[in-house]
Structure 1
Amino acid sequence: MTFEPLRTQVNSIMKNSKSVDARLLEICELLESNIPYYNWVGFYFKNGDKNELKLGPYVGEPTDHTIIPFGKGICGQVALSNENFVVPDVSAQDNYIACSITVKAEIVIPIFIDGENIGQIDIDSNTPHPFSEKDERFLEFVCQKVAEIL
């Protein structure tokens, strides 16, 4: 999988004049429709001063997990660790919040503004062990671009 053409499209989306949420949704749609093993793509953001994440724009199956406390699940752990979290097999994780029985793997990359973790991109895959270092680098690029419009 080559991510270079998608980088150009991400840059283009970030430069358009739509609302932030509209651009974030467009990013979700772009990734989900162009990367076969990205089956749920969404953003979570810190919910004000609370130690929890709130679901932002996403594409994929509806989720009940609109609020996630810091420390809970993969997203909640990234909110505390400030580090990428790649889960090749969600069934091997004790602190995994199941969104769907079809999900086999997850990757979560934090978004930073001035060194502060303000949110993250969360991707679920129905394919076991799909994510590589190339996914991590590409998603770090996406998160950097997202931070520039927030």
Structure 2
Amino acid sequence: MFTKAAYSENLEANYTMLAKQLDALLIGETNVIANLSNASALLNQFFDQINWVGFYLMENGELVLGPFQGLPACVRIPVGRGVCGTAAATQETIIVPDVHAFPGHIACDAASQSEIVVPVIKDGVLLGVLDIDSPVKERFSDQDAKGLEQFVQILTKHI
């Protein structure tokens, strides 16, 4: 498993290692909830300076809370609303350096200052989104977006 001791200064290498670890962790398991749970736990272990990581899953045209690590969260988010709903609507990764400057931000945890949301798409179908919050402004970079998109690509092989 990924450990901080294995962490290098090369963020791209860290994300490559993380994706390989996710793939190895999920091989042979077909339960979606188990795989999303382990994926969120792995990300929680990987990141520093975050306060929430998890998934919202598409259900009847809206995002519904799925497996996560962190404080209790909003249960339902309409597509097109907030950062998660906007990422679902556009099907594009969104980095928000300051959540208070994002129009319509949904504050589930008052400590959150920045956020990244990555759509989870399999065979052209939006399954949900990966959402990560940080209590630090400008926590997430384009390199994080690229690494998390790689992570989600591996994840979709197992869900």
Q: What TM-score does the superposition give when structure 2 sets the normalisation length?
A: 0.86
Question: Alignment RMSD, CA only?
Answer: 1.4
Which one of the candidate residues 110, 116, 125 is aligned to 1:116? Answer: 125
Task: Tell me the CA shift for residue 17 of structure 1.
Answer: 2.7
Map 1:58-97 → 2, pairs under 5 A? 58-63=68-73, 65-97=74-106
Which one of the candidate residues 113, 137, 140 is aligned to 1:128? Answer: 137
| 8 A Cα contact 1:43 1:57, kept in partner | yes
Instruction: Tell me the secondary structure at the aligned position of residue 64 of structure 2.
Output: strand
Instruction: Tell me the secondary structure at the aligned position of residue 3 of structure 1.
Output: helix
| 8 A Cα contact 1:86 1:106, kept in partner | yes
2:152 corresponds to which residue?
143
Q: Does 1:45 align with 2:54?
A: no
Partner amino acid for 1:87?
Answer: V
User: Which residues of structure 2 form unaligned runs of 5+?
Assistant: 1-10
Deviations 1:65-96 (A, max 9, x none): 11111111111111111111110100111210
Q: Percent identical across equivalent pairs? A: 36
Give distance in 2, aligned partners of 1:25 and 1:132.
Answer: 24
Which runs of 4 or more aligned residues in structure 1 lie more than 6 Å from their structure 2 counterparts after TM superposition? none
Q: Does 1:9 align with 2:18?
A: no
Give distance in 1, aligned partners of 2:65 and 2:30.
Answer: 20
User: Which residues of structure 1 form unaligned runs of 5+?
Assistant: none
| 8 A Cα contact 2:96 2:115, kept in partner | yes
Instruction: Tell me the secondary structure at the aligned position of residue 42 of structure 1.
Output: strand
Q: What TM-score does the superposition give when structure 1 sets the normalisation length?
A: 0.91
| 8 A Cα contact 1:89 1:105, kept in partner | yes
Instruction: Tell me the secondary structure at the aligned position of residue 157 of structure 2.
Output: helix
Q: Does 1:25 align with 2:37?
A: yes
Give distance in 1, aligned partners of 2:15 and 2:36.
Answer: 18
1:99 corresponds to which residue?
108
Task: Tell me the CA shift for residue 134 of structure 1.
Answer: 1.6
Instruction: Tell me the secondary structure at the aligned position of residue 139 of structure 2.
Output: coil
